[in-house]
Structure 1
Amino acid sequence: MNNSTLRLVGLRAATTSAANTVAAIQIAVRDLIDALVEENALTPKRIVSVTFSVTADLDACFPAAMARQRPGWDGVALLDCQQMAVQGDLERCIRILAHAWMPGDRRPIHPYRGKAYLLRPDRSNYD
């Protein structure tokens, strides 16, 4: 497979918000999307969809609404949903499942930021 061959991949990412405020969620979402895009060398044209799930303790705003403000993201399908409530789950957590076209020889990078490193220490980017 050469670099010009694209394949559709699923990318996972997660972070935590410092608080349940619009400003704190915006900072967390921006940092997480920046990491996902930069670490995977993505352009908006190659991103098919992004689903955001948040824990029930984050209800100040919609993460997808913040992503929608990014340049070139008007063609990306965006969706918000609430993460399944599980006792002992990580608080104020924002998770992403993104689908994007990537070069076939490029290994996907799944950034886990903030306290989300607790979810996947094997894939974490420590701040």
Structure 2
Amino acid sequence: MMRGIRGATTVQENEAEEIVSHAYELVADMVHQNNVDANDVVSILFTVTEDLNAAFPAKAVRKIEGWTYVPVMCMQEIPVPGSLGKCIRVMMTVNTSAKQEEVHHVYHYGATVLRPDLKK
């Protein structure tokens, strides 16, 4: 069965090192909390808000050993007025036997406000 694992984080500045490091921290936590193996990943989609353009957050995936061939893509979020700024969102599609309610979605830093109902 394929499932989507959601995640989001924020950064303080539009700075390449911070974007990649926060994206890495987020993806690593998503992988850990859901016991994801690279061979089970279908693809990973990253979005960033329009105020982030210093780096591709997908570079973070390439820092994980064994994840060289995982397909990743970056896109820009829709600039909805009043939405959370300096935000990186992730949709990781994986093959898993976990039920939807067993999937651990991960929200870091300022992004915890996006889905308080999913806090565990």
* In 2: Cα distance, 1:30 partner to 1:77 partner: 15
Is 1:91 aligned to 2:85, yes or no? yes
Q: CA deviation at 1:105?
A: 5.2
Larger deviation, residues 112-121 vs 98-107? 98-107
* In 1: Cα distance, 2:25 partner to 2:83 partner: 21
* Partner secondary structure for residue 32 of structure 1: helix
Q: Rate the CA distance shift 1:60–1:46 in 2: closer, same or farther, 3 A.
A: same
Q: Runs ≥4 in structure 1, deviation > 6 angstroms?
A: none
TM-score normalised to the size of structure 1?
0.87
**Aligned with 1:55 (options 49, 52, 56):** 49
Q: Rate the CA distance shift 1:121–1:8 in 2: closer, same or farther, 3 A.
A: same
Q: Deviations over 1:24-44 (max 9, x none)?
A: 112210110011000001111
Q: Rate the CA distance shift 1:95–1:105 in 2: closer, same or farther, 3 A.
A: closer
On the 8 A contact 2:21/2:60 being kept in 1, the answer is no
**Aligned with 1:28 (options 22, 39, 60):** 22
Q: CA RMSD in A?
A: 1.5
TM-score normalised to the size of structure 2?
0.92
Count of residue pairs brought into register by the alignment: 119
* Partner secondary structure for residue 68 of structure 1: helix
* Partner secondary structure for residue 29 of structure 2: helix
Q: Rate the CA distance shift 1:104–1:91 in 2: closer, same or farther, 3 A.
A: closer
Q: Rate the CA distance shift 1:105–1:55 in 2: closer, same or farther, 3 A.
A: closer
Structure 2 residue runs of 5 or longer lacking an equivalent are none
Q: 2:118 is matched by which residue type in structure 1?
A: R
* In 2: Cα distance, 1:38 partner to 1:111 partner: 10
* In 2: Cα distance, 1:90 partner to 1:10 partner: 22
Structure 1 residue runs of 5 or longer lacking an equivalent are 1-6
Q: Kindly name which structure, 1 or 2, has the bigger radius of gyration based on alpha carbons.
A: 1
Is 1:14 aligned to 2:8, yes or no? yes
Identity of aligned residues (%): 33
Greater share of residues in helix: 2
